[in-house]
Each structure stands twice: as C-alpha cells, then as structure tokens.
Amino acid sequence: MTEPLNTSSLEFCQDFKIFLDTSFFSELRDYKINYQKLNSDIIDLPSSNINIFRKTITLSKNSFDSEKIIPGSLLNFNTIEEFKQLDKVKYIKECALNERTRFNFFNVISFADLKKYNLVYWINIPVLKIKGLEFDIYFTDESGINVPEEYYISNFIYTIHNSVFINSSLMEHTKGKVVVPNLIKTYLIHQILIQSACAEYSLYFVDKKSVIKCGKVSAKYNNNKIDVPPFCYEDVAVSGWEKNNENRLIPKFINFSKLLDPIELNKQNVNLNLQLMKWRIKPDLKLEKIASQKVLILGAGTLGCYVSRCLLGWGIYDITFVDHGTVSNSNPVRQSLFGYDDVGKPKAKTASESLKKIYPLCNSQYVDLKIPMVGHIDTIDKTTFTILQREIKKSDVVFILMDSREARWLPTLISKAENKIVINAAIGFDSYVVMKHGNLDNDTRHGCYYCSDIVAPLDSLSNKTLDQMCTVTRPGCAMLASSTAVELLISYIQEGDLSYNQVRSNLNQFTSVTNVIESYKHCSACSNSVVDAYKTEGWSFVSKALSDPKFLEDVCGLTQEHLEAQKILENMEDMFI
C-alpha cells in the first residue's frame, strides 16, 4: 500500500507544566485528616484548570471533586520514609499501564507534613516508548464531523473509539512534521496493545466548535507498516518524572505556612490533635457536636481559668465568663489567664481578653456580675437576676465554679429549670469534687450539688478568718478538678447519660472514685417543688428564697423532714426511758 503524498511524521512533545495552588495543600490536608486518614490508596485527582495557550495545568482545591476534565491521580503517603522507599521507575510504569490510571495525563506522589505545613511531591506525566515504533499522519478533506459534547468540557483532548478530538492550539504543523502532546502517543500505544491490531486512527483538530483539520494516523515498526503489533506491554518503556526548579530529577518541596493566612493557619493547627484522635483511637468522636457547645463559666477564678483553657483544647470556642471580682496580687501565679500587669483589673473582662489572645478566633464574652446569694441581702437585685437568667438561657453548658456554696444555688436552680447541662466543681485543701447535675429529661434522675444537704444554703462567708475566706488548697488540685470537669462534660456529650454523675478525688492518697448522687425529692435547688415555684412566681419566689433560707426549706419540704426526724428521735428517747 503506497503512502498518501501529503504524509508527515507524527511526533510528540511534553511542554505542559503542572503547578500547585496554595489551596491544593489546604484541601489535601483536609482530605487527609477527615477522610483518607491512615488510608494510602491512590485517589483520582482531576484538574479543571488548564491554560491551553500557556500550556499550564493548575492543581487546586477543586481538583479533589471536579469532573475528570484533565484526568490525574494522587498517591499520598503516611510517612516520608514510605515516600522515599517507593520504586519510582516501577511506579511510573504501573501508572502508565494500569487499567485504572493508564489514560491519566499526570500522576502525583506526595508526603504532606500536616503539622509543619511541608509538602514533598513529585509529578509524573507518563511518556510511553516502544523502540522502533513510529507514527505517520496525513490530512484528509473530511467535512461535516460532529464534535462530541464531552470535548467541550475541557476543550483539551477527548478520545472515543479510534478517534481523538484535540484543540487545534495543541498542534504544530511544519513541513514534513506534525507535533502533538505526548498524551496522544500514550493513547495510540494503548489502543494498539488493547486491540492487538494496528488500525487507522483519526485525529480531529478543533477550533471553537468546528473540526478544521482531520488527520489519519498509522503505525510503523522499524520503518515498516504493520497490521499486527510484534510487541507487547513488556516492551513498553515509561519516563516522565518532572525535574525540580534546579533542573534536577528529584522531588519538589514546598512550605505552605508562609503562604497561608496566619489566622487560618492557627485554626487548622489548633484542631489537628483533635482530628487525629479520629484516625485510630476514637473514630466516632463527635467533634462537631462538641465544638458547637455554648459555654457559660460562672467564676473566673482558678477553676474558671483552667476550665476555659481546657475547653479551648477540645475545640469549644464560644465561652462567656461571669464574675464580679478583680485580679489580686495573689491571683496570677494560680490563675492561668492573668499576669502581673492585670492586677486590679476586672476578672471577667480580663479573662475574656486573655482567651482571645491565646486563640484569636475564640468567641469569648464576659459579664461583670455579682451573682445573688442565699443569706446575703446586699446581693439581692432583680436586674442582676434577669441578666444571669438571660446568660443561662443563651448557653448550652453552665460551669458553676464559684468559691462559696450559697453562690451556686441560684445558677443551679435556673439551669435546672432551663434544662441546661451543668458541671459543678469545688475544691478543698487536698481534695475536689466534680459533678454533673441531672436534667429535667434525665430518666436516671441524677441529683445536684445540694441533693446531699438536709438544710438550705446559708451565709458561709461572714465571721470567717482569712484562711477560711481564701481558697486554701494545694496548687495542683484546681488543675485536676478543672480538667476532670471538662472531661466529664465531653464524656456526657459523646456517650449520653453516664452511669455516674460525680467524681471525688483525694490528693493525699491519690485516689478517685465515681459516685451516683440521686435526686433528692426535698432538695433546696432542684426538687420539683422548688423548680415549679420558680417557674410560676419567678423573681418573687427567688427574692424570698435569697432573703430567708427558712422560707426555702418550707417550700422544698426540708422543714417537714426536720419535724419528722425530730419525732423519730423523741420516740427513740422514749424507748430507752
């Protein structure tokens, strides 16, 4: 068979360059942390960002979920050692010949150091070679060729059967030679090997929406036309690893930390440890539910400072402080949100500002408020009560961390009536107790801080010596109590109702026990009679209860309990007379 007179040699070149956008690393990081985790399977990595005229392809965040416009793949390793140990020659050949990846325009291998924001990567654009195999092309006068709709997705290259539609800008036609991208050569070689035959292939060069040239391609081996290929896949040689910026055949390295927004960088790093928990240790960890909690911290002292820091560690950033005190000289060494320069400043405001300095994206608020206390007439104020009520209603979780017992009563009552999650923590010299209060809808009917009391809260601050008024405790006690309080909250959010609701620890013997404190029907803070009176009468009931502990005992039924107990004692005395 004689060759057409206008036959030219079909040659191939690789002049496309692939670039990584900064968003690519951010998306790879998110994909690795939240989806891929320890898996290191090859994933599809198409690109939709191609510049035909500049011959560039950009990989960005869209490469992970865009259509397969420019097909590619990514193999991301878990360790740098795995990256180094990969047989690069063997791998590129596997990419070029594997049924899944053989028509990929490019393949990427990488190791992403998620903590340091380093990316080591190497891109290959496979070039298939069979010694002695060449191609010729001649142009025909075919007309009326319909361009497939699929071609217009990328305006790049589209293959179907033995036909290839290619953007005319990708062709260079000089006398006796036609040059097209290497991807065409890869396609032709695969078609020959798959079909075990050397057919005539059609190349349609498209400008806008029309075919402007039609070329017919034929193969020859050692300068001879062939119908059946005398070679197989084992004869295929593959090259195509990109050189780095210094023109060396080694991987590339990028540090993205300087290219990303510092605030966003901080946000991603803060959450890294939490996200890594889901890889292996706790795959079902409910991080989104935990992070969504709005927390109210009553008391910005030693416990409040440590609790807020621990909450940040768990990804809870919506925190409001309530306190009326000021930072004293003795506070900074024990209260982690204050420094020497903060002495004399309002605690709630300073704690909130310090939290924002630690983590700028934290939504930290404050309310300077003196909480009304039972037995303290000077604290009874309706406006203060209304503000406290408002803040509790806005919150999902309330931490009650004040120094005195009577200061905890009103927040306990309001929180119970509003069905909030309440975590209560209190410390002694060498011991502490942490407790989760029961909710209205809690079937187990767990109790509260006051359910073990047989009297209403009283004034515990008046007529006290200095060592009784200050929190005299081993310095490490508050840290342990605070972390236990936060972890108790996290366990509840994660697991739901717990079998226990109190943790008691003693530093003298380094022991901890969990207890179940059941709801007491005559509790001065959470009993049905008290909660119902609060819901019905509101401030009228609260003001009476704050003014007169005896009134509170009458409402909750403790007065009657005392009378019945007294009768029992009298009867017992009569028995021994």
Whichever domain contains 524, its CATH number is: 3.40.50.720
Q: Can you point out the beta strands (E) in 69-143?
A: 72-77, 106-113, 118-129, 133-140
- 282 lies in a domain? no
> Do residues 148 and 203 share a domain?
yes
> Do residues 211 and 316 share a domain?
no
Q: What is the pLDDT of residues 507-555, one digit of tens each?
A: 999 999 999 999 999 999 999 999 999 999 999 999 999 999 899 999 9
3-class SS of residue 392: helix
> Do residues 90 and 224 share a domain?
yes
pLDDT greater than 80 at residue 3: no
> Which residue would you say has higher pLDDT here, 128 or 571?
128
Q: What is the pLDDT of residues 419-447, one digit of tens each?
A: 999 999 999 999 999 999 988 765 557 99
DSSP one-letter code for 228? S
- 572 lies in a domain? no
The catalytic position among 95, 305, 451, 470 is 470
Q: Are 495 and 322 in contact (CB under 8 A)?
A: no
- 277 lies in a domain? no
Q: Is 54 exposed, middle or buried (0-12, 13-18, 19+ CB in 10 A)?
A: exposed
What's the sign of the alpha-carbon dihedral 102, 104, 108, 114? Answer: negative
DSSP one-letter code for 5? T
Q: Are 527 and 556 in contact (CB under 8 A)?
A: yes
- 531 lies in a domain? yes
Question: Residue 492: in which H helix or E strand, if any?
Answer: helix 475-495
- 408 lies in a domain? yes
> Do residues 443 and 559 share a domain?
yes
Residue 465: the pLDDT is 57
pLDDT greater than 80 at residue 67: no
pLDDT greater than 90 at residue 497: no
Q: At what angle do helices 549-556 and 539-547 cross, to 10 degrees?
A: 120
Residue 357: the pLDDT is 95
Q: How confident is the model at residue 45 (pLDDT cuts 50, 70, 90)?
A: confident
Q: Which of 55, 127, 143 shows the shortest CA–CA distance to 95? A: 127
| 156 contacts: CB under 8 Å, gap ≥ 6 | 50, 52, 69, 70, 166, 167, 170
Question: Residue 10: in which H helix or E strand, if any?
Answer: strand 8-13
Can 470 be counted among the known catalytic residues? Answer: yes
> Do residues 30 and 144 share a domain?
yes
Q: Which two tokens stand for residue 39?
A: 């898996």
Estimate to the nearest angstrom the gap between the alpha carbon of 398 and the chain centroid.
Answer: 24
Look at strands 502-506 and 431-436 and give their pairing: antiparallel
Mean pLDDT of 91-114: 90
For the chain, the domain total comes to: 2
pLDDT greater than 70 at residue 5: no
> Do residues 111 and 252 share a domain?
yes
> Do residues 429 and 540 share a domain?
yes
> Which residue would you say has higher pLDDT here, 490 or 472?
490
> Do residues 180 and 96 share a domain?
yes
> Do residues 395 and 487 share a domain?
yes
Q: What is the pLDDT of residues 233-292, one digit of tens each?
A: 889 999 999 998 889 999 999 998 888 888 888 888 888 889 999 999 999 999 999 999
Residue 1: the pLDDT is 47
- 221 lies in a domain? yes
> Do residues 103 and 250 share a domain?
yes
> Do residues 294 and 250 share a domain?
no
**Domain range holding 105?**
7-258
- 265 lies in a domain? no
- 281 lies in a domain? no
Q: Which of 433, 421, 452, 426 shows the shortest CA–CA distance to 517? A: 452
Q: Are 408 and 400 in contact (CB under 8 A)?
A: yes
> Do residues 248 and 292 share a domain?
no
Instruction: Report the range of poorest mean pLDDT among 67-71, 121-125, 183-187.
Output: 67-71
Percent of the chain with pLDDT over 90: 62
